[in-house]
Amino acid sequence: MQGYQLTFFTQQNRTHKRQFLSNWLIEEAHKLGIGGATLIAATEGFGRDRKLHAARFFELADQPIEITMALSEAESKRLFQRLHDEKINMFYIKIPIEFGMTDDLPGDQE
């Protein structure tokens, strides 16, 4: 299947509607029927504001978070429309990809 890999970047402490934004995004992707999403907690990073964000021993609130998913063009449009409707501004990377399940491949690939 042809589609996109979407990766969103945020911080652990960022919220939307009294919920962590990363969790809200995963729940919305699920509600929209997107096949899967992965939340990855990073050790540190910096954004366009050049401020260093890092997970500290006593404080994880500023920890960088990545949410990655593979989705079709239609799913991508629905997700971006939802983000627009909710007035959510997040940095993202959108890369064209081919994706699927290995058991969907024809027998011998040689």
* Amino acid identity for residue 41 in this structure: A
Q: Is residue 39 part of a domain?
A: yes
- Whether 70 maps to a domain, the answer reads no
Q: Report the domain count for the chain.
A: 1
Q: What is the pLDDT along the chain (110 residues), one digit of tens a residue?
A: 999 999 999 988 899 999 999 999 999 999 999 999 999 987 666 666 766 666 655 555 667 899 999 999 999 999 999 999 999 999 999 999 999 988 877 765 55
CA distance 42 to 4: 22
Per-residue model confidence (pLDDT) at position 42: 74
Residue 1 placed within a domain = no
Residue 78 lies in a domain: no
Q: What is the pTM of this model?
A: 0.81
Report yes or no on 109 lying in a domain: no
d(CA 75, CA 34): 7
End-to-end CA distance of the chain: 20
Domain that holds residue 43: 10-62+84-97
